[in-house]
Amino acid sequence: MDSEFRAKTALTKRVLVTGGGTFLGDNIAAALLAEGVEVSLLVRPGAEDRLGVLKQRVRWWTADIWNPASLKGRARGQQVVIHTVGGMNADPAQGLTHHYLNVISTRNIANLCVNSGVPHLVLISAARAPWTSAEYIASKREAEDFVDRVGLKHTIIRAPIAYVRGTRRPLFWQIMTLLGGTPPFSWLAFGKFAPMPVDVLARGVARLALDPRPAKSVYYARDLRKRNSQRELRRVTLLLPEETSSESTGSIAVVGEDVPFGWTPDTRDQ
């Protein structure tokens, strides 16, 4: 798809992103804005101040992804919903199982799309990697299966861990990133799960969401890289001001936190 056609397509799009006020959600919103899209965000109650500069550039509403009643009507008039919310770290003692965090949240958003007439759902899933738990990956695959059964047009992105370029990271993760972008290692599993810059990931997600003729339904990190130009891959680009990105994550590029899946339900009422 050439850039002119993409720009014309983007101008007709209204896209809703879940996970406003989080690392990945905000960066995807910024990438969509750069493509000329009208963006709306669903923000967890109490996280409104984390939107930073986006607060003036997007429409936003507070909603609890795990409470279907709070979602009612929030996707009306949208052409695409991008769902980024879930959790890597379960806490069964609090009722926060991987199933609850990842499957129930996806089910609620898929049902929202069906009830609101949204034709396309983009699900940010997760790539299987040596550092991700089997239970977490199983819950993401179960979420994918649910979206497939609903019958919506859908795009599944098995995303790797993301980081902001220029931030300090342990040597191990630097090596993994290098292997993920260097042939022949990138042709192997490294190309699917190696950590990648959040601007590259977000830009790839945005462009896949706007693609009217997707080649397939499941995408990996290497596919996201292909949606970036060589200049974009090489250049250090912050989609958001650094202070906004830092505020949204609390700790940038820390593997083991809920990055990129940074929302968890409020357990105070459970």
CATH number of the domain encompassing residue 133: 3.40.50.720
**How many domains are contained in the chain?**
1
pLDDT of residue 164: 82
Question: Alpha carbon of 27 to those of 52, 77, 94, 163, 254: distances in Å?
Answer: 12, 22, 29, 11, 16
DSSP secondary structure code for residue 247 in this structure: H
Q: Please report whether residue 133 resides in a domain.
A: yes
Domain-located, residue 267: no
Give me the pLDDT at residue 52, please.
87
What is the average per-residue pLDDT within 163-173? 73
| Cα(255)–Cα(244) distance, integer angstroms | 19
Write the pLDDT tens digit of every residue in 5-31: 455 555 558 999 999 999 899 999 999
- 264 confidence band (pLDDT: 50, 70, 90): very low
> Lowest-confidence range among 109-118, 187-196, 208-217?
187-196
Residue 128 lies in a domain: yes
Structure confidence at residue 251 (pLDDT): 30
Average pLDDT of span 42-49: 89
263 compared with 227, residue with greater pLDDT = 227
Residue 81 counted as domain residue = yes
Stronger pLDDT, 260 or 185, i.e. the higher one: 185
Name the residue range of residue 156's domain: 3-249
pLDDT over 60 at 255, yes or no: no
96 occurs within a structural domain: yes
Say yes or no to pLDDT of 58 above 90.
Answer: yes
Confirm whether 54 is domain-assigned: yes
- Going by C-alpha positions, the residue among 230, 164, 228, 192 that lies closest to residue 26 is 164
DSSP character string of 173-216 = HHHHHHHHTSTTGGGTTHHHHS-EEHHHHHHHHHHHHH-SS-S-
Q: What's the whole-model pTM score?
A: 0.84
Residue 270 covered by a domain: no
Helical ranges in the chain per DSSP H:
3-11, 23-34, 68-71, 98, 105-116, 134-150, 171-180, 190-193, 198-210, 221-226, 230-234, 242-249
pLDDT at 11: 52
Is the residue at 140 inside a domain? yes
Per residue in 70-96, pLDDT (tens digit) is 999 999 999 999 999 988 888 888 888
